[in-house]
């Protein structure tokens, strides 16, 4: 299936936004970066990446432009927009709240 | 934030929609770039070029599905697919015209029936009456133990007006309406009534032109003023503004026109009223508290509920009954009814029954189309599986189904609207004018917002039904496996069973309605061809009355009668002329008490109809004389009193003995014995469908009456004679007012009982036709569906040696079984239903064998013809192919 089953629903958006906040990248590079930073823990299928990118673009959070890539071929580079940055802040805050809460629960001592 | 958001998104959406090719190309390029990079990486990791390519594609989990997801994300798919699916759906329908025509026909039938009936119901029950704030209007009745809704006397009305605290205004109108209007061509009876001065104010109606009555204009001394209806203004005054202020002579009094009512105004108790003048208590009835001739309408004060008002009126009625025991002893109560209920009261239950009938038809139509769609979706199993395999998501397939269903429902709904508009006009035309006048809310029936809205609503509902059922049937797993095998789901069998039951029910409903329509149609025929005892063709009729002042003496009436007869008989084509108290075939009025001379009187009441007729009456009608003679020309008051009786009278009061030569006397001349000189066979003097009544005929010139009917037998077209007759009579005296000018054929066709029978036969017949067609289509659908489900079984049978004949038998026996069950159930219910219809039947018994036989025969033959189509299809199954597909 295309859905990253081991990825919390909606988290992929957050990851993409965060990666693009650092620098504009094209799709393949975003996939590589994801594998790289998470050390293969986050298995994001190549297939699910593009629909997510198109959704974010359609929402106006990232925008795309065609530029020559590092191997000098035309590639579609995505950049974070201003509303995208705000969205990232919101999503990140959400994630922090959620993960703190979950880790608190997980750390409960069994008696 | 939102605005900024749109700033980014709107151009993107537009781009996705309108530069689709470019967006598609970019999507391709983006994904290709990805694949190439991945392939490079894979080759670097040591794979062969081929392996690298496969690995990269695998990592995508299906390139086309991903592309479709990307398109979905861009939201362009929805609009795009909508358009594409609609075109596809229409193309599919076009490819299968048999299916499309049947489904659209069934839907049109169901929706148009529902919309027509709803149109009527909307006009009568929902559309506001043309009065301001109509929910505050109530009709107020006096109530006696015998009659809760008794009309009101003028003096009680004035007391109510003065004593009540609950109405902001209360007004009355007289129930005995109608005026004689002097026109340039002579006197004419015109519909209209008298109202109290505040009547239109209470209804909240403002005249279109001119003014309303002033508060004191109903006092006896005020000058006569009238308000005319919009129709009268158009017709009689050519819609000229100077109609205001004109003077017309109404009932011999000159009155000034002061206003014209708005075009949409109607008032059902006097639907056709053209002239409205003021009540001024000049009628003798209005001087007595015991004489009831008014209906009252009150407008409730803002804070008063109808219950509170009823309580207040109750107290007033009780007080009046104490104060005036002579007249009001029995009227110690009052009843308040919302005006709307008074106006539409009669038609509400009829409409509700029709509405449920139409709802049932609509439901059957939808079920039938669903069955047909299932049949089709079964045949399209492959197509669906292929579409699923090449990347159509379940949601996408659902959308495709939904669009097909909606297209079908929309086309059906559109046709339904067109036919409904036509049907409403047709049905409204079937209502005769005087009937329509008492139901003025049906005057301008037609499509409006609510009927169009309703048809949209049911079409969407139907479209969803058409979408959901085939989808539920074609489950997701089937899309997967459909490529390999023609699997049969449980849903299919469930539907088959449910469908069979519904078809049995449909056939039964069709049988009941068809038997009902058959019985009603037959009784209409019997009624119109009932033996009236005389020749009904080439007979022209009219009635005349005159102002009470002229022709007061008997001699004057006789002179007038002779003058009318002699002038009309000289008209071209006239064979003979006669007069009578009233025309045959009509209400049974004019009755009296008869005694046979020599028989003891024991207080019995021997009621007979009496008819004062001229000597030529029987020869003009071409009646059958049983014994004795007809009246002679010169039998007037100077001659011995004579009478002719009909067969029923002779039988009833002379117990079979010869009535000829016997003497009788009559209520109005108890001292004067009358000799019976003739016995005629029964003529239909009373209503068309009633039993034969005893009738006593006496010579007009021995007992002249104030007003009579003229009957003319002609050798030419009788309708053409009528205008000549009217002008001839007006040439004698323009003050004579003429009514009921018609031919005998018209009189019979338009008689209330014929009207009742005709409308019942039409309505039930229309429903029966619809139910019949639907049941046949339903049967076809179910049999064809079950045949398609049994293709493999049939293949096996044929492989094992079954002949085509056996296959036909197999299919037809299934159809036959369903039809037989429906017919038996239907006939059982018809017998019960016919018993309910008993009072509506005329000359036909509820056990009418020809009807009870013909209906099932028609239905069974049609059902078998319809099932021949799937039977032929089953018979042409190639066993090898059928088995291989398993």
Top-confidence residue, B705 or B394 = B705
Both tokens assigned to B42: 């894979």
Helices (H), B529-680: 554-569, 617-621, 647-653
- B33/A contact by beta carbon, under 8 A: yes
What is the C-alpha to C-alpha distance for residues B380 and B159, in angstroms, rounded to an integer? 79
User: How close does chain B come to A19, measured CA to CA in Å?
Assistant: 18
- Give A-chain residues touching B37 at CB under 8 angstroms: 28, 71
Whether residues A46 and B72 touch (CB distance < 8 A) is answered with: no
The answer to whether the beta carbons of residues B317 and B142 sit under 8 Å apart is yes
What per-residue confidence (pLDDT) applies to B199?
93
For B3, the closest chain A residue by CA position comes to: A83
Q: Tell me the pLDDT band of B665, cut-offs 50, 70 and 90.
A: confident
Residue B12 with chain A: CB contacts under 8 Å = 57-58, 60
Is the minimum CB–CB distance between A4 and chain B shorter than 8 Å?
A: no
Mutate to test the interface with A, among B7, B8, B23, B71 (most CBs of A within 10 A): B8
Lowest mean pLDDT, pick from A76-80, B155-159, B340-344, B437-441: B437-441
Per-residue model confidence (pLDDT) at position B226: 92
Phi, psi of B262 (to 5 degrees): -65, 155
Determine, for residues B29 and A74 on separate chains, whether the beta-carbon distance falls below 8 Å. yes
User: What is B371-439 written as a DSSP string?
Assistant: HHHHHHHHHTHHHHHHHHHTT--HHHHHHHHHHHHHHHHHHHHHHHHHHHHHHHHHHHHHS-HHHHHT-
Query: Cα separation of B656 and B648, whole Å?
Result: 10
Q: Are B353 and B481 in contact (CB under 8 A)?
A: no
Alpha-carbon dihedral B688, B689, B694, B696, rounded to 10 degrees? -10
Q: What is the CA B875 to chain-centroid distance, rounded?
A: 46
Packing angle, helices B490-528 and B347-379, rounded to 10:
140
Bridge partners of B84, per DSSP, are: none
Q: What is the pLDDT of residue B482?
A: 45
pLDDT for B481 beyond 60 = no
Concatenated DSSP letters for B1-36? Answer: -HHHHHHHHHHHHHHHHHSHHHHHHHHHHHHHHHHH
The dihedrals phi and psi of B359, each to the nearest 5 degrees, come to -60, -40
Contact indicator for B151, B293 with CB cutoff of 8 Å: yes
Whether the CB of B38 is below 8 Å from some CB of chain A: the reply is yes
A81 at interface of B, judged by CB pairs closer than 8 A: yes
Q: How far apart are CA A31 and CA A15, in angstroms?
A: 10
Q: Which of B201-205, B320-324, B490-494, B766-770 has the lowest mean pLDDT?
A: B490-494
Two tokens, residue B563: 């003058």
Nearest-Cα distance to chain A for B66, in Å, is: 6
ipTM: 0.82
In chain B, residues with a C-beta closer than 8 Å to the C-beta of A86 are 1
Domain A11-106 has CATH 1.10.10.10: yes
Q: Which whole number is the average pLDDT over B802-822? A: 87
What are the CA-CA distances from residue A83 to residues A49, A89, B128 (Å)?
21, 10, 53
Is the pLDDT reported for residue B304 higher than 60? yes
pLDDT at res. B262: 92
Q: What is the mean pLDDT of chain A?
A: 81
Distance from CA of A71 to the nearest CA of B (A): 10
Q: What is the pLDDT of residue A5?
A: 44
* B804, B808, B811, B814 alpha-carbon torsion, rounded to 10°: -130
Both tokens assigned to B123? 């006009």
| CA nearest to A50 within chain B | B70
**pLDDT at residue B483 is higher than 50:** no
Read off the pLDDT of residues B535-580 as tens digits, 9 standing for 90 and up. Answer: 999 999 998 888 767 788 888 999 999 999 999 999 999 999 999 9
Yes or no, beta carbons of A60 and B70 under 8 Å apart: no
Residue of chain B minimizing CA distance to A77? B30
Write phi, then psi, for B40 (nearest 5 degrees): -55, -45
Task: Decide: B583 and B543 in contact? Cβ < 8 Å.
Answer: yes
Which residues of chain B from 59 to 88 reach within 8 Å of chain A, CB to CB?
59-62, 65-66, 69-70, 72-75
pLDDT, residue B667, reads 66
Q: Which residues of B touch A79 (CB under 8 A)?
A: none
Per the CB < 8 A criterion, the answer to whether B417 and B252 are in contact is no
The domain segmentation of chain A, as residue ranges, is 11-106
Residue B151 and residue B283: Cα distance in Å, rounded?
16
Contact between chains at A83 and B38 (C-beta distance less than 8 A): no
pLDDT at B14 over 80: no
Contact A46 B34 (CB under 8 A): yes
Average pLDDT across chain B, whole number: 83
Q: Which of B39-53, B212-226, B257-271, B385-399 has the lowest mean pLDDT?
A: B385-399
Q: Is B82 helix (H, G, I), strand (E, B) or coil?
A: helix
Q: How far apart are CA B261 and CA A19, in angstroms?
A: 78
Indicate if the pLDDT at residue B487 is higher than 50.
no
Q: How confident is the model at residue B711 (pLDDT cuts 50, 70, 90)?
A: very high
pLDDT of residue B5: 65
CB contact under 8 A, B30 and A57: no
Q: Which two tokens stand for residue B778?
A: 């339903």
Tell me the range of A65-79, B217-231, B446-460, B609-623 where mean pLDDT is highest: B609-623
Q: Is B16 an interface residue toward A (CB < 8 Å)? A: yes
| Residues of B with Cβ-Cβ distance to A27 under 8 angstroms | 30, 33-34
**Quick check: B666 and B610 in contact, CB under 8 A?**
yes
- Please tell me the predicted confidence (pLDDT) of residue B728: 92
- Residues B332, B321 contacting (CB under 8 angstroms): yes
Rounded to an integer, what distance in angstroms lies between the CA atom of residue B591 and that of residue B609?
4
Please determine, for residue B492, whether its predicted confidence score (pLDDT) is greater than 70: no
Chain B residue numbers touching A26 (CB-CB < 8 A): 30, 33
Check residue A6 and give its pLDDT. Answer: 46
pLDDT at B474: 59
| Closest chain A CA to residue B7 | A60
Size of interface A-B (CB pairs under 8 A): 84
From chain A, pick out residues whose CB is under 8 angstroms from the CB of B30.
Answer: 26-27, 50, 75-76
Minimal Cα–Cα distance from B62 to chain A, Å?
8
> Average pLDDT, stretch A79-84?
88
Give mean pLDDT, residues B50-69.
82
Chain B residues with CB inside 8 Å of A59's CB? 5, 9
- CB-CB: which of A26, A52, A54 is closest to B74? A54
Query: Nearest to residue B286, comparing CAs of B140, B195, B155?
Result: B155
pLDDT in the model for residue B259:
93
CB–CB of A28 and B4 under 8 A?
A: no
Helices vs strands, H then E, count in chain A? 4, 3
Q: What is the pLDDT of residue B857?
A: 93
Contact A28 B7 (CB under 8 A): no
Nearest alpha carbon to residue B783 among B812, B805, B808, B804? B812
Given B1, B12, B33, which is nearest A58 (Cβ)?
A: B12
* C-beta of residue B860 within 8 angstroms of C-beta of residue B819: yes
B79-98 mean pLDDT: 78
Nearest CA-CA distance, residue A100 and chain B, Å: 28
Compute the average pLDDT of residues B261-276. Answer: 86
What is the rounded distance in angstroms from the CA atom of residue B700 to the CA atom of residue B635?
9
The confidence band for B212, taking pLDDT boundaries of 50, 70 and 90, is very high
Among B102-106, B133-137, B230-234, B756-760, the minimum mean pLDDT is found in B756-760
Of all helices (H) and strands (E), which one includes residue B605? none
- The whole-number pLDDT of residue B22 equals 81
Tell me the sheet residues that pair with B592.
B608
Q: What is the pLDDT of residue A3?
A: 43
Q: What is the tens place of the pLDDT at every residue in B603-647?
A: 666 778 889 999 999 999 999 999 999 999 888 888 888 999 999
| A111 Cα to chain B: minimum distance (Å) | 45
**Is pLDDT larger for residue B836 or for residue A63?**
A63
B665-685: average pLDDT: 83
Give Cα B325 to chain centroid, integer Å.
46
Q: How far is B400 from chain A (nearest CA, A)?
A: 22
Average pLDDT over residues A83-98: 88
More confident residue, B334 or B270: B334
Contact B618, B630 (CB under 8 A): yes
């Amino acid at each position: 299936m295309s859905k990253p089953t081991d990825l919390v629903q909606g988290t992929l958006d957050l990851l993409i936004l965060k990666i693009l906040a650092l620098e504009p990248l094209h799709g393949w590079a975003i996939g590589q970066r994801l594998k790289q930073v998470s050390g293969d823990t986050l298995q994001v299928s190549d297939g699910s990446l593009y629909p997510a990118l198109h959704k974010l673009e359609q929402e106006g959070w990232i925008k795309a432009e065609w530029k020559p890539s590092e191997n000098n071929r035309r590639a579609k580079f995505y950049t974070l927009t201003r509303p995208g940055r705000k969205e990232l802040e919101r999503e990140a805050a959400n994630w922090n709240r959620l993960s703190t809460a979950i880790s608190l629960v997980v750390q409960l001592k069994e008696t | 934030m939102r605005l900024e958001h749109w700033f980014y998104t709107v151009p993107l959406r537009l781009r996705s929609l309108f530069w689709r090719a470019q967006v598609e190309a970019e999507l391709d390029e983006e994904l290709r770039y990805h694949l190439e990079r991945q392939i490079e990486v894979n080759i670097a990791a040591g794979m062969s070029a081929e392996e690298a390519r496969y690995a990269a594609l695998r990592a995508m989990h299906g390139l086309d599905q991903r592309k479709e997801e990307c398109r979905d994300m861009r939201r362009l798919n929805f609009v795009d697919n909508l358009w594409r699916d609609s075109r596809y759906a229409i193309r599919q329908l076009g490819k299968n015209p048999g299916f499309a025509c049947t489904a659209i026909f069934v839907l049109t039938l169901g929706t148009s029936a529902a919309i027509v009936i709803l149109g009527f119901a909307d006009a009568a029950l929902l559309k506001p009456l043309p009065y301001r704030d109509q929910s505050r209007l109530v009709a107020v009745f006096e109530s006696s133990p015998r009659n809760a809704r008794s009309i009101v006397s003028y003096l009680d009305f004035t007391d109510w007006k003065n004593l009540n605290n609950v109405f902001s205004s209360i007004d009355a109108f007289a129930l005995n309406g109608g005026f004689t209007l002097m026109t340039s061509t002579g006197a004419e009876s015109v519909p209209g009534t008298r109202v109290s001065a505040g009547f239109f104010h209470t209804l909240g109606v403002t005249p279109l032109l001119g003014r309303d009555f002033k508060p004191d204009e109903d006092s006896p001394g005020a000058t006569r003023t009238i308000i005319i209806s919009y129709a009268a203004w158009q017709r009689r005054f050519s819609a000229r503004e100077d109609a205001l202020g004109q003077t017309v002579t109404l009932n011999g009094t000159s009155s000034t026109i002061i206003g014209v009512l708005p075009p949409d105004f109607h008032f059902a108790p006097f639907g056709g009223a053209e002239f409205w003048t003021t009540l001024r208590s000049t009628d003798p009835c209005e001087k007595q508290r015991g004489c009831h001739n008014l209906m009252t309408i009150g407008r409730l004060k803002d804070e008063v509920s109808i219950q509170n008002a009823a309580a207040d009126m109750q107290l007033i009625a009780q007080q009046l009954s104490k104060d005036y025991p002579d007249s009001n002893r029995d009227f110690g109560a009052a009843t308040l009814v919302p005006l709307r209920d008074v106006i539409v009261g009669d038609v509400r239950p009829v409409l509700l029954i029709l509405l449920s009938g139409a709802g049932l038809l609509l439901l059957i139509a939808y079920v039938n189309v669903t069955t047909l769609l299932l049949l089709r979706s079964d045949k399209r199993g492959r197509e669906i599986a292929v579409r699923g395999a090449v990347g159509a998501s379940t949601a996408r397939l659902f959308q495709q189904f939904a669009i097909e269903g909606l297209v079908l429902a929309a086309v059906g709904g559109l046709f339904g609207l067109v036919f409904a508009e036509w049907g409403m006009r047709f049905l409204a035309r079937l209502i005769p004018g005087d009937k329509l006048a008492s139901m003025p809310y049906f005057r301008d029936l037609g499509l409006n917002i609510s009927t169009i809205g309703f048809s949209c609503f049911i079409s969407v509902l139907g479209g969803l039904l058409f979408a959901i059922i085939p989808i539920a049937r074609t489950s997701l797993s089937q899309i997967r496996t459909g490529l390999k095998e023609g699997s049969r789901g449980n849903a299919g069998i469930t539907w088959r069973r449910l469908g069979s039951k519904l078809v049995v029910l449909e056939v039964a409903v069709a049988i009941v309605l068809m038997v009902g329509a058959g019985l009603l149609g037959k009784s209409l025929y019997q009624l119109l061809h009932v033996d009236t005892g005389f020749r009904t063709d080439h007979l022209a009729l009219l009635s005349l009355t005159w102002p009470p002042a002229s022709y007061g003496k008997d001699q004057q009436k006789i002179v007038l009668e002779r003058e009318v007869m002699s002038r009309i008989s000289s008209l071209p084509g006239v064979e003979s002329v006669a007069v009578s108290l009233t025309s045959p075939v009509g209400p049974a009025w004019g009755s009296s008490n008869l005694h046979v001379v020599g028989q003891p009187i024991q207080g019995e009441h021997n009621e007979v109809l009496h008819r004062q007729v001229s000597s030529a009456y029987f020869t003009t009608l071409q009646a059958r004389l049983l014994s004795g003679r007809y009246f002679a020309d010169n039998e007037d008051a100077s001659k011995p009193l004579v009478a002719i009786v009909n067969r029923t009278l002779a039988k009833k009061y002379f117990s079979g003995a010869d009535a000829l030569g016997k003497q009788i006397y009559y209520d109005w001349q108890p001292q004067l014995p009358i000799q019976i000189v003739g016995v005629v066979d029964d003529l239909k003097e009373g209503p068309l469908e009633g039993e034969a009544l005893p009738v006593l005929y006496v010579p007009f010139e021995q007992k002249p009456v104030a007003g009579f009917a003229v009957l003319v037998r002609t050798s030419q077209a009788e309708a053409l004679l009528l205008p000549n007759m009217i002008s001839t009579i007006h040439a004698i005296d323009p003050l004579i007012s003429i009514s009921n000018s018609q031919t005998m054929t018209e009189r019979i066709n338009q008689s209330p009982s014929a009207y009742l029978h005709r409308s019942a036969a039409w309505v039930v017949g229309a429903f029966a036709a619809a139910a019949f067609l639907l049941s046949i289509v339903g049967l076809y659908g179910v049999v064809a569906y079950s045949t398609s489900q049994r293709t493999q079984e049939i293949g096996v049978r044929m492989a094992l040696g079954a002949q085509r004949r056996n296959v036909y038998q197999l299919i037809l026996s299934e159809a036959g079984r369903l039809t037989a069950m429906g017919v038996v159930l239907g006939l059982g219910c018809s017998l019960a239903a016919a018993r309910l219809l008993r009072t509506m039947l005329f000359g036909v018994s509820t056990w009418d064998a020809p009807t009870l036989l013909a209906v099932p025969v028609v239905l069974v033959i049609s059902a078998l013809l319809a099932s021949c189509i799937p039977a032929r299809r089953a018979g042409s199954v190639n066993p090898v192919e059928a088995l291989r597909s398993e």
